[in-house]
Structure 1
Amino acid sequence: MQTSPATGTVIVIGGALKVGSDAVWQRIVDEAGGAGVPIAVFPTAATEPERIGAQIVASLNRCGAAAELIPVAPQWDGIDLAAQLNDAALIARVAASRAVFFSGGAQEFIVDTLQPGGRPTAMLEAIRSVFEAGGVIAGTSAGAAVMSRMMFRDAMDNLAILNGRWRAGQEYDHGLGFIDGLLIDQHFLKRGRIGRMLPALHRLGCRLGLGVDENAAAVIHGSRLEVIGGSGAVLVDLGDATHDPALPAFNLRGARLSYLDHGDCHDLATGQTTPADRKQQGQRLDPAAPGFVPSLRAERYFLDILGDGCLIGALVQLLDGPFPEVRGLACRGHSRAGDEHADIGFEFRLHRGPGLVGWRDATPAGVDYTVLGALLDVVPVRVANPLYLPLAGDREAVG
């Protein structure tokens, strides 16, 4: 499966990229050609484009680039946006760049500005020419979301999406299409966005999704994907997943999840993953191997599987824990005015199957894992609303 032409490289950043995250900033510069490389920075998605754009330019230039801020943003006060989009000199400067960087913010600002009504502007064609000439297209947060052919537009509520509240053109929309066949999402582990990724893949008929966490990035060239940065990414594969249409809510069985950490590489064409060198020198984990001894002893149930970092916690527990399955719950837990699905929740069941393996590498900062081939079922359940009540005391027994 080819996700982008071999001519260019796409770098998708999960958001909240720290100014000092030079593993990512430097990689953008190096992939584009090294010291002195011209990079066009588009703060189009930002609500404070001048400030955000200047920060990005400074970070890239600190790593040796010759980055330039491109004043094309609907929230930039005092500019004529239409004139900027059609300025021949500005378009020529963008086309002469070796890389383009899209800021975070609101991804609808990017697509509505550069391809209004689905029609590419001359400025977008100049950006495409950079990619077609072998350049780099990079973006963080909103700037990462637009890389897919289809993208999340404004799907903020994971549980609403799980409960089927989809509005074409609002929750999802056409992206810029620098990556095909792979749905990109950002802030993935931090914000529990597996809750919107699974229904989106199923609804859009897309097999593969990539959820990149904050302060991490995926470098994609052709079918090769490499994860870099301070966190990691989750690859979601619905190739063998099944859905029961008789159930009155979203459900899925047999989705396959893999967690890739810094330095791990994956071939989207063959499905093969190569862990980082430091992982290969560490410990390979195979729960099905004779004599396997898990390092995690306690059993965990995840009462909020969509909570900050809970998905990776569950994947690690499945790989390196004592039991062949790990369960968690996604639900409101309380009433919300007008929410007819307040009593509907979803049980997430991660379980071992053929091919579940991983690596564990001890570092001074802790333990890093790679987890490959975990199976996931999502089953709708009915939950009490409210989920809990204060425990009343036995007043007759007092005094």
Structure 2
Amino acid sequence: MKYLSINSQIAKPVFDVEDGTYNKTQIVQISFPGVGKFPIFYSTGFDIGFQKYWGPITIKETTTVRAYMVIGNQRSEEAKAEFVIEKNETSQKGNVVVIGGAEHCKEIHKKIIDLAGGPEHARIVFMPASSAEPYESGMDRFKRFSELGGLEIDYNKVPDDDRGEKDFSSILNESKFWILPGALIDDQNRPNVDESLWRTNGFKKEYAEKLRDGGYNTVFLSGGNQARYMKCLYYPDGTEGPVLSIIREIYEEKGGVIAGTSAGGAFLSRIMMLGGGSYGSMLDGVFYQDVIVHDYFDTYKPFKNRVWLGTGAGILNCNTITDTHFIARGRIGRLITACLYLKKQTGKNTVGIGVDEDTSAISYPDNWFEVVGASSVLVIDTSEAVLETAIEPGRFKANDIRVHYLEAGDRFHIDEASGSTSVEISKEHRLHPVEKADQNYCLCGDVFGRDRLKTWLYENFITSTAEDIVGFEIIDNLEDSSDSIFYYKDVDDERSFVTFKKYYDLAKYGSALVRFKKKEDTVNYQGFTSFHWWGENDRNYPNLEEISSPGYSTKNMYIDIMHLTLLNFPDLSDAYDMPLKSDYNDRPEVWQEMFRDNKRFRLGMTVIPLPDETLELQVFFFDYAYYDYDRNGRYSPPRLMERFESNYGGLKYDYDIIQIDEARNVKVFINDEEKGYTDVFGKFVFQTSDRFINIKVEHEYIHRKVELEMKNLMLPISEAVMKFTDRSY
């Protein structure tokens, strides 16, 4: 600040740690020696500029700290302190454990304890900053580490609170499990303490020193909202506070374990996934904005339909981005979009690690990762991906995105220089696919739906001789998803000067198409996976249940993605509001069967350009319904998801169901000339030299003719949809 004149009468700032030689990281407070509060600026090196002082700073290596105080347009002389840091132990990196959320299985908790040296040596800090139930979530984790992982606790080392109950969040807690009191939200399960007052503890010297000196070798980050970690652990200018700095030291220098579940797992990567869904991200791309730490609030969601990315902790410091609840919430679309965006912006290959629920990906210092848990990890490798020019800003088209589907015991390696991946599969048996006459080809209209991807891939791709399968997204039918068939923008009403949301039917706006394909290096394996848990919602606690089921792993499958504009949807205006379900307790398969029996079987179609100007016409049956959680399932046109007061108590959400089936034996007309019929997969491949064509399809079903036309289609259509390459037939 060159415009400030130096006034020797202004007192210099004071360091609370004397300069000298130390054998451990120092946490230094800088203060004004007199009465009042004035801005202080500091620098941690002669070649580093001055920055505003917000709170205690962490000194990990030898340096000279300089500081001055500002009063009005004058500043003090510089105060200086030289800190020589000579640590006795040799630095070694530890492990990062990214957990996909909803983790209940024994294997994950036991693995973390083992990495920390076993039950006798593990000392765990639970960081609940992102949770809406900070203390309750900590005690739930304590139960799992002690009963599933074998952690032993001396309760005599845990002080009592004012109600005579053990207080694991006390700074006087000397046991092997400490809930570090840092959070934004008050835990309603603990009425005697307001946990929202913990919001500044991540910047307090006493908590950072306890974390440094308490012998802790494991830090577990809770789930919740990952943006809250930024608010609790970073100063307003984006520099990290002392608690996060010591957490980083535990991993980078002391060989400790840093684990995060759900939001905690997302926070660990250098670029953090903050929100958004697969469908919206593949249509509208990426919104990149760091969390505004000094002005963040939970309802701030600037990303609309896009995927929101921002800076994360970077503890998992290879070029990766993590995502959680991966298959359960259909997030492959948004992770692929994020990886392609980062590759385009940085010029470096970014590896996406999508971790499903009750599963973990564990990193080792040599950049190998191990899968542990009940479900799977998908690895997105963009090193060979070919990005094509986007139609509009923020929308991607890409070929040859390499994907590995991995389960417990499998390992993968990330080459830091190239960003490429390699895989070791734990299963011994190669899976030999079989030809399936009734396999689905292009019938998955909800490829990003809840738990959809795993089953769809296994039944139609992994165990099948099909060289590729195609799915697209029309709606994500999850009540808790960010994706919806309706796309909204804020629109200003000039008459009332009010901003309101105008909804657009995304069926007309476009769709996202995903093609999974095999190449010569694609290999599938089969075996069994097993894990132990207390059952769903811990219903069998304390009795452990062993689950063993067939499993599979695949290395080197490939994905092409595109924004699909040439998608002719059927007219749904004549759909009738017909009850399909009268009993809330009906099994899902009964509901689906009733839906199928009452379908109107409207035709939809799309045209996909193939190599050598060949065109593939995909024809499908399309139907829509909704289920309102109030004992009513109805067949109807698409609608907005609506909140309503259920007769059975509480606010509920309606949600929609679509179903798509391949349209076999559909008659195809091109320029009014009959050309043939679709095959068992609902496809018809043709060539034409015409500049404009009309396509009409018709089908006889239940004594009525169903027709659909696509008029004045202009060729070539590479401007509208991308060409998929390396396609095998």
TM-score, scaled relative to structure 2: 0.49
From 236, 252, 263, the counterpart of 2:409: 263
Cα distance, 1:199 vs. partner? 1.2
Deviations 1:185-232 (A, max 9, x none): 000111111111111111122421000000000110121100010001
Corresponding residue for 1:61? Answer: 146
Identity percentage over the alignment? 25
Is contact 2:406-2:554 (8 Å) kept?
yes
d(CA) in 2 for partners of 1:274, 1:237: 15
d(CA) in 2 for partners of 1:201, 1:324: 25
In structure 2, do the counterparts of structure 1 residues 8 and 182 end up closer, same or farther at CA, with 3 Å as the change threshold? same
In structure 2, do the counterparts of structure 1 residues 296 and 275 end up closer, same or farther at CA, with 3 Å as the change threshold? farther
**Structure with greater helix share of residues:** 1
The letter for the 2-side match of 1:262 is A
Equivalent residue runs for 1:22-101 within 5 Å: 22-36=106-120, 37-62=122-147, 63-65=149-151, 66-76=176-186, 77-78=194-195, 80-81=197-198, 84-95=201-212, 96-101=215-220
Cα distance, 1:14 vs. partner? 0.2
Cα distance, 1:166 vs. partner? 3.1
Paired residues in the alignment total 379
Is 1:166–2:286 an aligned residue pair?
yes
From 208, 215, 221, the counterpart of 2:364: 221
SS in 1 for 2:287: coil
Cα distance, 1:241 vs. partner? 1.0
In structure 2, do the counterparts of structure 1 residues 335 and 271 end up closer, same or farther at CA, with 3 Å as the change threshold? closer
The letter for the 1-side match of 2:414 is L
Cα distance, 1:293 vs. partner? 4.7
In structure 2, do the counterparts of structure 1 residues 356 and 56 end up closer, same or farther at CA, with 3 Å as the change threshold? same
Cα distance, 1:274 vs. partner? 1.6
Is 1:374–2:518 an aligned residue pair?
no
In structure 2, do the counterparts of structure 1 residues 120 and 244 end up closer, same or farther at CA, with 3 Å as the change threshold? same
Is contact 2:199-2:232 (8 Å) kept?
no
From 193, 196, 203, the counterpart of 2:331: 193
Corresponding residue for 1:9? Answer: 95
Cα distance, 1:15 vs. partner? 0.5
**Structure with greater strand share of residues:** 2
Corresponding residue for 1:234? Answer: 378
Corresponding residue for 2:191? Answer: none
Corresponding residue for 1:288? Answer: none
Is contact 1:118-1:174 (8 Å) kept?
no
Is 1:275–2:425 an aligned residue pair?
yes
Cα distance, 1:26 vs. partner? 0.7
Equivalent residue runs for 1:243-322 within 5 Å: 243-245=387-389, 247-248=391-392, 249-269=395-415, 271-276=421-426, 279-280=427-428, 283-285=429-431, 293-294=433-434, 298-300=438-440, 301-316=443-458, 317-322=460-465
Deviations 1:33-73 (A, max 9, x none): 11131100001110111111111122112223322111101
Cα distance, 1:330 vs. partner? 1.2
SS in 1 for 2:396: coil
The letter for the 2-side match of 1:148 is S
In structure 2, do the counterparts of structure 1 residues 39 and 183 end up closer, same or farther at CA, with 3 Å as the change threshold? same
Corresponding residue for 1:131? Answer: 251
Q: Which moved more, 1:75-84 or 1:386-395?
A: 386-395
In structure 2, do the counterparts of structure 1 residues 58 and 247 end up closer, same or farther at CA, with 3 Å as the change threshold? same
In structure 2, do the counterparts of structure 1 residues 238 and 26 end up closer, same or farther at CA, with 3 Å as the change threshold? same
SS in 1 for 2:401: strand
Cα distance, 1:88 vs. partner? 3.3
Unpaired runs of 5+ residues, structure 2, are 1-90, 152-175, 187-193, 290-301, 303-307, 344-348, 476-483, 489-501, 530-546, 576-599, 603-700, 705-729
Deviations 1:124-152 (A, max 9, x none): 11111211210000010000001100011
In structure 2, do the counterparts of structure 1 residues 385 and 157 end up closer, same or farther at CA, with 3 Å as the change threshold? farther
Corresponding residue for 1:140? Answer: 261
d(CA) in 1 for partners of 2:141, 2:571: 44
Cα distance, 1:297 vs. partner? 5.8
d(CA) in 2 for partners of 1:360, 1:236: 21
Is contact 1:314-1:326 (8 Å) kept?
no
Is contact 2:204-2:242 (8 Å) kept?
no
Cα distance, 1:361 vs. partner? 1.2
C-alpha RMSD of matched pairs (Å): 2.6
d(CA) in 2 for partners of 1:159, 1:39: 38
Equivalent residue runs for 1:326-337 within 5 Å: 326-332=469-475, 334-337=485-488
Deviations 1:227-275 (A, max 9, x none): 0100010000111111221534422111111100011111223733221
In structure 2, do the counterparts of structure 1 residues 87 and 303 end up closer, same or farther at CA, with 3 Å as the change threshold? same
d(CA) in 2 for partners of 1:178, 1:109: 17
The letter for the 1-side match of 2:425 is P
d(CA) in 2 for partners of 1:99, 1:295: 49
Deviations 1:165-200 (A, max 9, x none): 533225111110011201100001111111111111
Larger radius of gyration: 2
d(CA) in 2 for partners of 1:184, 1:163: 21
d(CA) in 1 for partners of 2:325, 2:353: 11
SS in 1 for 2:288: coil
Cα distance, 1:307 vs. partner? 1.1
In structure 2, do the counterparts of structure 1 residues 386 and 135 end up closer, same or farther at CA, with 3 Å as the change threshold? farther
The letter for the 1-side match of 2:517 is H
Is contact 2:322-2:354 (8 Å) kept?
yes
In structure 2, do the counterparts of structure 1 residues 387 and 115 end up closer, same or farther at CA, with 3 Å as the change threshold? farther
d(CA) in 2 for partners of 1:247, 1:381: 11
SS in 2 for 1:192: coil
Higher relative contact order, chain-length normalized (CA < 8 Å, sep 6+): 1
Corresponding residue for 2:516? Answer: 350
d(CA) in 1 for partners of 2:146, 2:468: 47
